[in-house]
Amino acid sequence: MLEGGSRRVERPRITIVTASFNQAQFLAETLRSVRNQRRVDVEHIVMDGGSTDGSVDILRANDDALSYWVSAPDGGQPAAWNAGWRRARGEFVGFINSDDLLEPAAVGELIRLADSAPKAEWLVGGTRYFGDAEPLVYPGTPQSSAADVLFFASYAPQPGQFFKRSLIERVGGFDESLQYSFDLDFFVRCALADAISVATESIVAAFRWHGGSKSMSQAGKHLVETRLVEARHWPAVLAKEGRRATRVRATHHGHKALELARDARVAGDSRKGWLLLAMTATAYPSMLRTRAFYGTIQRLLGLHS
């Protein structure tokens, strides 16, 4: 095991935990994005899974900017996050992975948000997507409804979310049996625990799309785990939010079904597309009143690409 970190922070308000494994091509930029916050109340911890690509050399070169770093085999990203937040001393903890970035002045905005709502346990800032995909921007959105969180109706990308350390302790950290949807599982547990969430539209983080990211390279496995998380939490979400949860769930699955119908049309199988459309109308009749439903009909008719 290799470890270091010589920066001492007297009273950290925010701890940034960075999980890393063989991403030396991005790591230095990530570390710089935290260092450039130029604040004395930010603690930065890096949990590296035993990289062999030069990442350790980068960590050593940035030792004076890091409160702690370690490079050793671990149990994957959720294990790294758990080890990181348990070592953290900040009031709030955020997770900026080694291929993502903290935006300039992000910490100042997050602390302003926290100070404006002293009871807040869950800070949500905006996140931009960049890299090998079309740029997207998601403004921060409060996360209050467990149904909205579980079915992405109040979607907020993970890098823009920061949690009171006491909240992470209260809900039990991250499930290390999951490797793809452990963050969603955690978010839903926070919402079920009635965590108080506040948001800012300001962009505080950047999520990098690239071929090596799990979101792109292992999308199928990610989907399987997402469905597992849904099945795990749906009974508690339904019990807590009742009919509203049922409506949110139906809307989510209805839109997913329409996506499959449109995908079939793009693949040249219009018959399958129409069949999926009919199944959507039967299973999710509320979709009949949506623009997405009629837009799918137009695509199947060839009126739109």
Beta bridge partners of 130: 208
Q: Is the dihedral of CA 153, 157, 163, 169 positive or negative?
A: positive
DSSP 213-265: SHHHHTHHHHHHHHHHHHHHHHHHHHHHHHHHHHHHHHHHHHHHHHHHHHHHH
Dihedral of alpha carbons 35, 7, 112, 101, sign: positive
Q: Contact 97/76 with Cβ under 8 angstroms?
A: no
Q: Could you report the per-residue pLDDT of 204-253, keeping only the tens digit for each?
A: 999 998 776 665 556 778 889 999 999 999 999 999 999 999 999 999 99
Q: What is the pTM of this model?
A: 0.90
Q: Which residues, in sequence order, are CB contacts of 277 under 8 Å at separation 6+?
A: 258, 261, 293, 296, 297, 300
Read off the DSSP letter of residue 103.
Answer: P
Find out whether 112 and 150 touch, Cβ atoms under 8 Å: no
What is the sign, positive or negative, of the torsion defined by CA atoms of 286, 292, 294, 299?
Answer: negative
pLDDT in tens, 252-303: 998 888 888 888 888 888 889 888 888 888 887 887 888 888 788 888 888 7
CA distance 114 to 121: 8
